[in-house]
Structure 1
Amino acid sequence: MKTVVLKKADPLFLAEVDAAQIPMGADDYRFRLGMLRERMDADGIDAAVIVGDREHFANIEHFCGYDCRFEESVFVVPREGAPTLLVGNEGMSYSFCVPYEIRRAYYRNFSLQGQPRRKEEKLDEILRDAGVFPGAMVGLIGFKYFLPEYIPTDPKYTFDAPHYVVEALRSLAGFENVVNYTAALTGLDSGMRLRVYTAKEIAAAETAGARSANVLMRLLKSMQPGMTEYALSESARVGFAPHVMHPLVNFGPESVALGIRSPRDDVRLSLGDQCGLCYGVRGSLSSRVGVAARDEATMHESLRPHLFSFYGEFFRAMGAWYEALKVGADGNALHRAVHDILDGPNHFVELNCGHFTGMDEWVNALSYEGSTYTVPDGAYMQVDIISSMPDPARTAICEDPAIVAGPALRAALGREYPEVYARILARQRAFREVLGIDLCDDVLPLTNINAAMFPFMLNPDIVFALEEA
Structure 2
Amino acid sequence: WKPFGAGDAGFGRRTLDLPSFIADTLRALAGDRGAVENAADLLINPADGLRAINEADQLAAFEFAATFSSQGLRNVLQGIEPGMTELQAARLMGINGLPQCCHPMLSAGKRAPYGLPSPRLDIIQRGDPITMAYGIQGSLNARAGFLVESAAELPERISDYIEKLVAPYFSAAVDWYETIGIGVAGGALWKAVHQRIGDPFFGVSLNPGHLIHIDEWMHSPVFSGSAIELKSGMALQVDIIPATGSAYFTTNIEDGIALADEPLREEIAARYPDAWRRIEARRAFMGDVLGIRLKPEVLPFSNIPAFLPPFWLSRNTAMAVAGR
Aligned residue among 221, 237, 252 for 1:397: 252
Is the aligned partner of 1:333 residue 2:188? yes
Give, in angstroms, the shift of residue 168 of structure 1: 2.7
Indicate the residue corresponding to 2:39 in structure 1.
181
Indicate the residue corresponding to 2:48 in structure 1.
190
Give, in angstroms, the shift of residue 346 of structure 1: 4.4
Indicate the residue corresponding to 2:240 in structure 1.
385
Give, in angstroms, the shift of residue 149 of structure 1: 4.8
Partners of 2:61 and 2:209 lie apart in 1 by 21
Give, in angstroms, the shift of residue 296 of structure 1: 3.0
User: 5 Å matches for 1:37-436?
Assistant: 143-153=1-11, 155-174=12-31, 176-196=34-54, 198-252=55-109, 254-265=110-121, 267-344=122-199, 346-436=201-291
SS across alignment from 2:314: coil
SS across alignment from 1:171: helix
> Residues 352-401 of structure 1, C-alpha deviation per residue, up to 9 Å, x if partnerless?
11111111111111212211111121111111111131332411111111
> Residues 269-316 of structure 1, C-alpha deviation per residue, up to 9 Å, x if partnerless?
222331111111111011101111123333343332121221111111
Give, in angstroms, the shift of residue 214 of structure 1: 1.8
Partners of 1:258 and 1:310 lie apart in 2 by 18
Give, in angstroms, the shift of residue 238 of structure 1: 1.5
TM-score, scaled to structure 2? 0.94
Contact 2:151 2:160 in 1 (8 A): no
Partners of 2:316 and 2:49 lie apart in 1 by 41
Partners of 1:233 and 1:362 lie apart in 2 by 23
SS across alignment from 1:302: helix
Indicate the residue corresponding to 1:17 in structure 2.
none
- Alignment gaps of 5+ in structure 1: 1-142
Give, in angstroms, the shift of residue 344 of structure 1: 2.8
Partners of 2:235 and 2:300 lie apart in 1 by 11
SS across alignment from 1:193: coil
Partners of 1:340 and 1:285 lie apart in 2 by 26
Partners of 2:207 and 2:7 lie apart in 1 by 19
Contact 1:271 1:300 in 2 (8 A): no
Contact 1:219 1:277 in 2 (8 A): no
- Alignment gaps of 5+ in structure 2: none
The structure with the largest alpha-carbon Rg is: 1
Indicate the residue corresponding to 2:321 in structure 1.
466
Give, in angstroms, the shift of residue 148 of structure 1: 4.9
Opposite residue 364 of structure 1, the aligned amino acid is H
Opposite residue 321 of structure 1, the aligned amino acid is W
Contact 1:347 1:387 in 2 (8 A): yes
SS across alignment from 1:383: strand
SS across alignment from 2:222: coil
> Residues 191-228 of structure 1, C-alpha deviation per residue, up to 9 Å, x if partnerless?
111221x2211111110111101211222222111222
SS across alignment from 1:288: strand
Indicate the residue corresponding to 1:109 in structure 2.
none
Partners of 1:200 and 1:149 lie apart in 2 by 34
Indicate the residue corresponding to 1:74 in structure 2.
none
> How many percent identity over aligned positions?
32
Partners of 1:463 and 1:219 lie apart in 2 by 15
Contact 2:221 2:228 in 1 (8 A): yes
Give RMSD over aligned pairs.
Answer: 1.8
Give, in angstroms, the shift of residue 255 of structure 1: 1.1
Partners of 1:149 and 1:422 lie apart in 2 by 42
Partners of 2:309 and 2:267 lie apart in 1 by 34
Contact 1:453 1:464 in 2 (8 A): yes
- Aligned residue-pair number: 323
Give, in angstroms, the shift of residue 262 of structure 1: 2.1
Looking at secondary structure, tell me which structure has more strand per residue: 1
Contact 1:283 1:357 in 2 (8 A): yes
Give, in angstroms, the shift of residue 460 of structure 1: 2.9
TM-score, scaled to structure 1? 0.66
Indicate the residue corresponding to 1:456 in structure 2.
311
Opposite residue 257 of structure 2, the aligned amino acid is A
Opposite residue 191 of structure 1, the aligned amino acid is G
SS across alignment from 1:351: coil
Contact 2:190 2:224 in 1 (8 A): yes
Partners of 2:272 and 2:92 lie apart in 1 by 31
Indicate the residue corresponding to 1:439 in structure 2.
294
Contact 1:228 1:268 in 2 (8 A): yes
> Residues 424-463 of structure 1, C-alpha deviation per residue, up to 9 Å, x if partnerless?
0111111111111111111110022110111211223111
Partners of 2:199 and 2:116 lie apart in 1 by 28
Of residues 172-181 and 419-428 in structure 1, the stretch that sits farther from structure 2 once superposed is 172-181
> Residues 393-414 of structure 1, C-alpha deviation per residue, up to 9 Å, x if partnerless?
4111111111111111111111
